Structure 1
């Protein structure tokens, strides 16, 4: 998607209050008359609506992240929901302005990113699997601290990345275009909302029938007679999962990523798995035990692919680091007017936030002040790398930069897996909020929203995000357990694997014959990622997506790819319905997530 310049494609920057005050007054009769009042921007209803939408996003991201390792920023979805919600609230008052809708969307994105900032999708499950269980309140404060650092990083990088280098940040541009269209075209909301609510309702009903009533099986396996390498479909999880969320994810990730995930899963479960059983590398007395043995081996080449892709992405951004560090040093002198005031407050807030986050890291994650500062030193350039990659490709390599930090930390710190995973959490947590904040800042820049007000609502959303995400996480883990068929936690397993590899276990701790496979996968990840930066970008599979296919059950990959293919087919046959289909994909994700969490709560109440 191309960058939308200000004032084009229906996205015109609104005049700032000081600009409006300096303009002359005109009237037809020659008598000066006042200009219309400035558009409403930071309002209570925008904050309330953004908080409600963000709470839904936070629940959805915890549920989706623990199942698939993916999470959604919600920029476009929250724009649509914010317009609809504010329009309902405005029936007895002034209609919402595009700036008001943008601030509600900005708040929602900040709330919804908290599961990733707090490490609930990766580092915290990894620490639990390693035998360390940090208390929930400390994880919440840790997430608030890392989220704050991410927001401050984004604000400090805003001028260079969005204005001077004009990186596209396509998701932010798409949100700005959608907000502008919704406020200028009366019929634009109806089609998108219809797809969202219809798919959300169908998804919720199907999830209830699957989880609460057990009228729908979790997975429809292929016929038992179809065996691969002597293993039946129950061992390889061959079939289709009755997860509308996976179909929705497939709609949103696009054709290349969906096919790459399926390719990785087919290589893992249909190519390597039979060989592992035949050679006696993977063994198990029951189908479940054999599947767990296979998953433990296949994890390593999957991680190799993803880390190789991350290393290539990071290496491509090294030249820009000096300029980024200069921006951070000059943060207190940034901008004019409101932005200069905000910059000074940002600069003053850095030290208290670091102290709070470091205290929680020491108490809950056993990350001493010295090693926390070392992780923070790594976080500064890696957050900048992640932000730049997000602006260029619209893909935020959050987990990969976390694992890259684990690699660097493994060479500098004691060989303790929990310490290594905690250090990776510092980088990935701050990077998650930095990327989401920059998408919102790009939308605000194109619409003319005050960046200082966006900063304010982003910070205000952090506490609410923690209050929603932590209970949701503990609820799902209490009912389903980590590293189970219901919650595969692929990102958590990836964090754990890298920590064990780089610390006490080393290469000797890898499953038999997996060392060579991991090295080959790493090299393949580097080659594919480097080649994808040229003319072959659309033809080559995504190395990171292939690696995810190794970590997911095969039925998950099949279902996700089915959603991708259905969206591509509908888009080719009826191009005018593309936006409606994307809204339907988001609705399927939200519908299953909300009902799935509700059913888990009912199950926990029955157990109690």
Structure 2
């Protein structure tokens, strides 16, 4: 760890660049999360962009670049916290659109609380009993090796252009290629379906999360689409008079989606509920010890001379800020339930749950990275706990009980996402000799900046594509899987009607997955089966999981090409750095083009405003084959970039 005395860090240009990148990456991650239910960590792409931009401005220090990536990474965490929860309020019909001041209040307060709650955890998780924090270590290596950021920027720019071009050519743009290549057929009483989304972004996501997660998520989808849906169609559909009448005469593909939408996806809901409860139970000892040592370190450090590289934001000011946040949270919740006492109880629940779950999120980010951090499971647990308390106070038939539970979950989700990401950034700062309080301040600035733009981005996407269940107006709506799940759980607990049998079966499936994962852990297996990843696969359409699996497969072939030895994490980070930048470029380019396309759609009120003339369209089969060829070329380029012998990225 290097010293940092006299080296510029929190400069004006670094702050401005961090805010700009944070806002752009927040918008991109919001689109990705609503589309596929996943977000990615953005620290490494932000670090590479920072090194290139600051070099054009006369050169930047390693600590300035670290500040930029710290602030910019708030884009992924705030986006995750928002899109996992707040769209539930629109899906439930409580809001007709995303209300600016409400979204700002929820995301802003949640993000700042995440920063505050993570401060006492830095010393124990990074200094005294350090966790790996894989993305933080990778970002530090990129910063240390950033003498020549040019090749990395070229990779980002190329991949961004490819992702944007494919998105422009797809269904929401020129309509030259479809979003999905799929087929289904009846096999006697059984129903078979196979398909893949043609999104380069999902291929990039798969490369980043790796083959293990890719296998787990696609296996979850195979369980739904190749086992549960055919079995339901063969043996249970006839007894479901409402659904069988609705699907009478439907094509095989429509029947498959109808069964999945009304029944089978709730297996994923049950598995997620099990995953959320298991996450808390399995971390109970680490959580308690982490909270205790964090406060002990804060007490020990007060009043003593502390090195610049060990100075956190002062604990007394953290407590003052925490007390100051109680009033706006109290007022926010009072605006929902209208009873001051219950509103205060909601605030207390949020504060306590927020601190507990920020600790859990930070611990998980330290073990598996921010991209694999099961924040949605943490949020489900929060909503369940809040719902039980609110049912006791308001009654199960309360018209605002479900909304109140979502509101508590939304603030906690934002805090947990930011808290986990904050510790990842502080790990990178620790390795390069940064000043912690400056990073913590920058993350707060970045988080609040992202909160300022989330409502307009969500409204734009909602008006152009739709969010939640497909409708006649928006047949290809952004699925918002986590928010749809939160809405279903909250409504079901407060007088709603859910397929509880299917949810119970999913909970059992989740328990079996947990048992399998524990067995693999006991055997020391490198392959693991995280229950929340499997639950996402069960819950989402198979077509979204296939390209994620293929991206993970490419990452595996890249490791084989380089002869990577098992357990060599530093070599893995170095090997994958060019591919990670390429994958991040695909994701960002596609997502930003998706947002750009939404502008003319909303302005004109026409979903086909950019479509090519009809005589230039290919037939359906030819367009699907063209889309498959394009996706294959994108994957081949990803492999080629990742297996070039020359150094192609900072530190490569």
Structures share a fold, TM > 0.5?
A: yes
Pairing partner for 2:389 from 399, 412, 428 = 412
Pairing partner for 1:99 from 42, 47, 63 = 63
Instruction: Quote the Cα distance in structure 2 between the aligned partners of 1:217 and 1:231.
Output: 27
Report the alpha carbon displacement of residue 116 of structure 1 after superposing the two structures with TM.
2.7
Q: 2:534 matched to which residue of 1?
A: 546
SS at match of 2:86: helix
Q: 2:551 matched to which residue of 1?
A: 563
Q: Where do 5+ consecutive residues of structure 1 fail to align?
A: 1-5, 7-12, 18-37
In the alignment, is the contact (CA less than 8 A) between 2:510 and 2:531 conserved in 1?
no
Question: What per-residue deviation string (whole Å, max 9, x for no partner) do you get for residues 97-151 of structure 1?
Answer: 111100011111124422233x3x1221222222211622111122111101100
Q: 2:125 matched to which residue of 1?
A: 161
SS at match of 1:70: coil
Pairing partner for 2:24 from 53, 56, 61 = 56
Pairing partner for 1:126 from 71, 75, 88 = 88
Report the alpha carbon displacement of residue 364 of structure 1 after superposing the two structures with TM.
5.7
Instruction: Quote the Cα distance in structure 2 between the aligned partners of 1:229 and 1:496.
Output: 36
Distance 1:515 1:586, change over 3 A: closer
Instruction: Quote the Cα distance in structure 2 between the aligned partners of 1:216 and 1:574.
Output: 35
Report the alpha carbon displacement of residue 452 of structure 1 after superposing the two structures with TM.
1.0
In the alignment, is the contact (CA less than 8 A) between 2:44 and 2:138 conserved in 1?
yes
Q: 1:33 matched to which residue of 2?
A: none
SS at match of 2:181: strand
Q: 2:365 matched to which residue of 1?
A: 390
Q: 1:581 matched to which residue of 2?
A: 579
Q: 1:361 matched to which residue of 2?
A: 333
Report the alpha carbon displacement of residue 547 of structure 1 after superposing the two structures with TM.
0.9
The alignment status of 1:467 with 2:452, answered yes or no, reads yes
In the alignment, is the contact (CA less than 8 A) between 1:302 and 1:548 conserved in 2?
yes
Q: 1:372 matched to which residue of 2?
A: 347
Q: 1:269 matched to which residue of 2?
A: 225
Distance 1:396 1:229, change over 3 A: farther
In the alignment, is the contact (CA less than 8 A) between 2:36 and 2:479 conserved in 1?
yes
The alignment status of 1:456 with 2:468, answered yes or no, reads no
Distance 1:143 1:332, change over 3 A: farther
Q: Give 1:241-390 correspondences, 5 Å limit.
A: 241-278=197-234, 279-280=236-237, 281=240, 282-283=243-244, 284-285=246-247, 286-287=250-251, 288=254, 291-326=257-292, 327-328=294-295, 331=298, 334=301, 336=305, 339=311, 342-363=314-335, 368-390=343-365
Q: 1:607 matched to which residue of 2?
A: 605
Question: What per-residue deviation string (whole Å, max 9, x for no partner) do you get for residues 290-334 of structure 1?
Answer: 624422312222122223233223212212344444434875774
Instruction: Quote the Cα distance in structure 1 between the aligned partners of 2:203 and 2:545.
Output: 10
Instruction: Quote the Cα distance in structure 2 between the aligned partners of 1:365 and 1:84.
Output: 50
Q: 2:178 matched to which residue of 1?
A: 217
Q: 2:158 matched to which residue of 1?
A: 198
In the alignment, is the contact (CA less than 8 A) between 2:132 and 2:366 conserved in 1?
yes
Instruction: Quote the Cα distance in structure 2 between the aligned partners of 1:340 and 1:199.
Output: 38
Pairing partner for 1:89 from 57, 77, 80 = 57
Q: Which moved more, 1:318-327 or 1:240-249?
A: 318-327
In the alignment, is the contact (CA less than 8 A) between 2:313 and 2:440 conserved in 1?
no
Question: What per-residue deviation string (whole Å, max 9, x for no partner) do you get for residues 483-539 of structure 1?
Answer: 23331111112212322343424xxx3327415412322322431343343335433
Report the alpha carbon displacement of residue 50 of structure 1 after superposing the two structures with TM.
1.0
Distance 1:341 1:48, change over 3 A: closer
Report the alpha carbon displacement of residue 375 of structure 1 after superposing the two structures with TM.
2.8
In the alignment, is the contact (CA less than 8 A) between 1:313 and 1:389 conserved in 2?
no
Q: Give 1:2-151 correspondences, 5 Å limit.
A: 6=1, 13=2, 15-17=3-5, 38-90=6-58, 95-117=59-81, 119=82, 121-133=83-95, 135-151=99-115
Instruction: Quote the Cα distance in structure 2 between the aligned partners of 1:427 and 1:266.
Output: 32
Instruction: Quote the Cα distance in structure 2 between the aligned partners of 1:331 and 1:364.
Output: 36
Distance 1:540 1:227, change over 3 A: farther
SS at match of 2:523: coil
CA RMSD of aligned residues (A): 2.5
Pairing partner for 2:376 from 391, 395, 399 = 399
Report the alpha carbon displacement of residue 371 of structure 1 after superposing the two structures with TM.
1.8
Q: Where do 5+ consecutive residues of structure 2 fail to align?
A: 471-475, 564-573, 607-652
Q: 2:619 matched to which residue of 1?
A: none
In the superposition, the TM-score normalised over structure 2's length comes to 0.80
Question: What per-residue deviation string (whole Å, max 9, x for no partner) do you get for residues 228-261 of structure 1?
Answer: 566777xx4x322121111111111110111111
SS at match of 2:46: helix
In the alignment, is the contact (CA less than 8 A) between 1:305 and 1:524 conserved in 2?
no
SS at match of 2:73: helix
Distance 1:68 1:229, change over 3 A: farther
The alignment status of 1:521 with 2:509, answered yes or no, reads yes
In the alignment, is the contact (CA less than 8 A) between 1:257 and 1:545 conserved in 2?
yes
Instruction: Quote the Cα distance in structure 2 between the aligned partners of 1:556 and 1:548.
Output: 10
The aligned length equals 558
SS at match of 1:522: helix
SS at match of 1:39: coil
Instruction: Quote the Cα distance in structure 2 between the aligned partners of 1:178 and 1:248.
Output: 19
Q: 2:566 matched to which residue of 1?
A: none
Instruction: Quote the Cα distance in structure 2 between the aligned partners of 1:113 and 1:142.
Output: 14
Report the alpha carbon displacement of residue 450 of structure 1 after superposing the two structures with TM.
0.5
Distance 1:364 1:85, change over 3 A: farther
In the alignment, is the contact (CA less than 8 A) between 1:365 and 1:422 conserved in 2?
no
SS at match of 1:123: coil
In the alignment, is the contact (CA less than 8 A) between 1:332 and 1:347 conserved in 2?
no
In the alignment, is the contact (CA less than 8 A) between 1:529 and 1:542 conserved in 2?
yes
Pairing partner for 2:116 from 144, 152, 160 = 152
Q: Which moved more, 1:493-502 or 1:269-278?
A: 493-502
Distance 1:293 1:128, change over 3 A: farther
Q: Which moved more, 1:367-376 or 1:432-441?
A: 367-376
The alignment status of 1:433 with 2:418, answered yes or no, reads yes
SS at match of 1:220: strand
Question: What per-residue deviation string (whole Å, max 9, x for no partner) do you get for residues 204-248 of structure 1?
Answer: 1111111221111111223x6x54566777xx4x32212111111
Report the alpha carbon displacement of residue 376 of structure 1 after superposing the two structures with TM.
2.2
Report the alpha carbon displacement of residue 421 of structure 1 after superposing the two structures with TM.
2.3
In the alignment, is the contact (CA less than 8 A) between 2:106 and 2:410 conserved in 1?
no
